[in-house]
Each structure stands twice: as C-alpha cells, then as structure tokens.
Amino acid sequence: MTKILNKKILITGGAGFIGSNLCEYFLVDNEVICLDNFSTGYRHNIERFLSNSKFTLVEGDIRDFKTCELAVSGVDYVLHHAALGSVPRSINDPITSNEVNVSGFLNMLTASRNANVKRFIYAASSSTYGDSEALPKREDVIGKPLSPYAVTKYVNELYADVFSKTYGIETIGLRYFNVFGRNQDPNGAYAAVIPKFVAQFLNHESPVINGDGEFSRDFTYVDNVIHMNELAMLTENPEAINTVYNTAFGERTTLNELVNTLKEFLSAYDKEIATVPIVYAQNRVGDIPHSLASIDKAKALLNYQPQFSMKEGLKEAVKWYWNNLQEKSKK
Ligand SMILES: NC(=O)c1ccc[n+]([C@@H]2O[C@H](COP(=O)([O-])OP(=O)(O)OC[C@H]3O[C@@H](n4cnc5c(N)ncnc54)[C@H](O)[C@@H]3O)[C@@H](O)[C@H]2O)c1
C-alpha cells in the first residue's frame, strides 16, 4: 500500500523510465494522469494501466501551455518528469533540450500554480553540480554547469525557487544521481550506461567504457527514487519544502566495478557472458570524473532511508532484463 491515498497525481513523462515506475506505484491507491508525447518514452511502459479506470493518458507536449493546463486540472500533486535527458543529446541539439526542459518546465510550473496544486515535485539532476570537485556532493555547494542539459536542470531549480517565493506554490526538486532499473531503455544513441551494457552483454557484444573505467558514479536503483517522491509528497515540515534534495544511494561505484558486477550477475543466466571482453575508448566531453551524493539532508528532513544498495538494485534490474528478453523471444 502507498502512503499517499486517494489523491489525483499528474506524472509528466509518465511513459518514460522513471515516470512509468511512478505511475505503477501510485496507481495502486490513487488516480494517476500521465502526460507524455512519447518522444523518448514508450506506450508499452504504460499499456497495462490503460484499462484501469483510475488511469488517464493525456498524449501531448509540455511545450504547449494549453495541454499543461488540461492535464493539471483538479490535480493534488504534480511529479514533473517530462524532459529530454542525456548530456550528449543536449550538446548535439541544445535548442530542443532548452525548449522542452526549460520552456516546458515553466509551462508546467505556471499551469500548476494557476491550478492551485498542493505541491509540484520535479526531477532535478546531479548534473547541476557541474565542475565542482567537492565530494560528496552537498546540496548547497554547486559548480558551473558542464553541458546545456545541466544548464536546463539548474534553471528548473531557479524557477521553482522563484515561484515558491513569489507565488507561494510548494515545490521540491529531487536531484537524481544515475538512476537505473526496470523500464530503462537500452536502445538508441543516448541510452544510459547500465541498460546499454546489459543489452550488449545479452547479445554477447563487448560493452565499451569511455576512459579507463575508474570514473565513478552514485548509481541509484529506481525504487529509492519512488521512495523519495513519496516522502517529498508526504512531508509537512515547512523546512523540508521549497528546496532540493540529492536522490541517491550514497555510495560510488567505478565503471570497472559496475561492468564486472553486471557480468557476474548476467553470467548466472547465460554462462557465455563470462567470456565477453570489455573494450575501452576515449573519455566523453562533459563527463565529470566522480559523482557521489551526500544524502544527509534527505535523511534529516524527509527521513529518507535508501532501500536498495547498488548491488541489490542491479540484481533486480538484471533479473527484469532477463525475464523481459525471455518474454520477447516467446512472442
Ligand atoms: N535517469 C536518470 O538517471 C536521471 C538522472 C537525473 C535526472 N533525470 C530526470 O528524470 C526525468 C525522467 O528521466 P528518465 O530517465 O525517466 O527519462 P525518459 O526519457 O525515459 O523519460 C522522459 C519522458 O518524458 C517524455 N517527454 C519528453 N519530452 C516531452 C514533451 N515535450 N512533452 C511531454 N512529454 C515529454 C518522454 O517521452 C519520456 O516518456 C527527466 O526529467 C530527467 O532529466 C533522470
């Protein structure tokens, strides 16, 4: 059972990786509206919810203000996740990333304020730490953004802060750190590293690590992210609202460790994977060497306790990808 009950929740980007997991979780005890234009999300992520009378799909674009107004009407909470992710995508096409991530965000925030929603919770990003070398990352010490994507996510925080001060709308930003888990897309040029490596291993192809593999990330299982969204909805502590939180497990893993753990877990399903070699290539532009979150603020103000370590989450994710592959091969 969810701790949020009988509310009307708008999940933008609800057909995407994180959004579809949020839809599934909150739909158990609430009404869920999913707003998505399927640009990077998939109908198959939400197909099974379509027959549920508590689920509504609004197929539309957050760049259109009227669509945002329609979707947010009568809503208690907004979990804003629609955006164009990926640093390389934003480097290739900064204009579209800005239109969706900044103008689209402002549309949703304005529509939410006009509709008097109880709270606007949004997907912020660890990319906001930019060139700050401090480790672990604490919410109040950020550097300069290293990509157009990072700029858009930082601007989201600035708008949310200004809107809460100027108009009184309650906002909470969740700075996600390398989220992974079920429904994450392994395909395309902008796929995240975990689903991409899993798909490569399953095809007996070598995963390619950019750099020497000693860069590290605070890989965060999607269930910890769901938990943080729920805590952000639940809190009534004024100190905990109108601010941002790192959303992570709070440990870092190098890419070499990651790829070896994946290999080990996947080999339990397919022994041949143990023999697949790893390939190393050049570092990517805009990549920071290390990322590690302090989760002290979320622990202190939201009572956050991450439920899955990186390895526990990875085991679940690998099982999901394997089962998914078996189901597809039966069709
Ligand atoms: N996955 C991560 O590790 C991570 C890390 C930091 C921040 N985030 C943020 O979390 C959010 C969700 O990310 P995700 O990994 O689930 O990505 P995703 O691409 O799977 O989901 C984004 C969803 O937004 C939808 N969308 C994009 N543009 C839209 C538009 N103009 N109108 C309506 N819908 C639109 C897409 O179709 C997709 O379903 C994003 O805001 C992303 O920036 C994710």
Query: Is the CB of 101 within 6 Å of ligand 1?
Result: no
Calculate how far, in angstroms, residue 123's C-alpha sits from the geometric centre of ligand 1.
8
The answer to the question of residue 195 being in a domain is: no
Q: How far is the CA of 188 from the centre of ligand 1 (A)?
A: 14
DSSP class per residue in 90-157: HHH-HHHHHIIIIIHHHHHHHHHHHTT-SEEEEEEEGGGGTT---SSB-TT-----SSHHHHHHHHHH
Residue 172: phi and psi, rounded to 5, are -140, 130
Is 215 inside a domain boundary? Answer: no
Q: What is the CATH number of the domain that holds 143?
A: 3.40.50.720
In a domain, 112, yes or no: yes
The number of distinct structural domains making up the chain is: 1
Question: What number does the ligand 1 atom closest to the CA of 38 have?
Answer: 37
Burial class from Cβ neighbours inside 10 Å (0-12, 13-18, 19+) for residue 133 reads exposed
Q: Tens of pLDDT along 59-75?
A: 999 999 999 999 999 99
- Per-residue pLDDT of 287-309, as tens digits, reads 788 999 999 999 999 999 999 99
What's the CA gap between 257 and 278, in Å, rounded? 12
Query: Is the distance from the beta carbon of residue 317 to the nearest atom of ligand 1 less than 6 Å?
Result: no
Calculate how far, in angstroms, residue 37's C-alpha sits from the geometric centre of ligand 1. 11
Please list the residues that pair with 123 across neighbouring strands. 174
Residue in 93, 109, 179 to alter for ligand 1 test, most ligand atoms within 8 A of Cβ: 179
The reported pLDDT for the residue numbered 12 is 99
Q: What is the pLDDT of residue 151?
A: 98
Residues labelled catalytic: 149
pLDDT digits (tens, 9 = 90+) for 166-223: 999 999 999 999 999 999 999 988 899 999 999 999 999 999 999 999 999 999 999 9
The DSSP letter of residue 284 is P
pLDDT by residue (tens digit) across 131-174? 999 999 999 999 999 999 999 999 999 999 999 999 999 999 99
Nearest residue by C-alpha to atom 21 in ligand 1: 16
Tell me, what's the pLDDT at 331? 75
Ligand 1 near 62 CB (within 6 A): yes
Q: Look at residues 180, 179, 178, 160 and name the one whose alpha carbon lies nearest to residue 170.
A: 160
Q: How far is the CA of 184 from the centre of ligand 1 (A)?
A: 11
Which domain, by its residues, includes 45? 8-179+222-249+293-308
Nearest CA to ligand 1 atom 42: 85
Tell me which of 34, 176, 249, 291 to substitute to probe ligand 1's pocket, judged by most ligand atoms within 8 Å of the beta carbon: 176
User: For residues 310 and 291, what is the distance between their CA atoms, to the nearest angstrom?
Assistant: 14
* Residue 278 is assigned to a structural domain of this protein: no
> Does 207 fall in a domain?
no
Quick check: is 40 in a domain? yes
- Scan for tokens 């009184």, then name that residue: 168
Its pTM stands at 0.98
pLDDT of residue 95 exceeding 80, the answer is: yes
Tokens of 213: 């593999």
- Please identify, by atom number, the ligand 1 atom nearest to the C-alpha of residue 177: 5
Residue nearest to atom 7 of ligand 1 (CA): 125
Is 261 part of a structural domain of the chain?
no
Q: What pLDDT was estimated at residue 328?
A: 83
- Indicate which residue's Cα is closest to atom 11 of ligand 1: 81
What pLDDT, on a 0 to 100 scale, did the predictor assign at position 288? 82
Query: Is pLDDT of 329 > 90?
Result: no
pLDDT band at residue 286 under the 50/70/90 scheme: low
Whether residue 88 lies inside any domain: the answer is yes
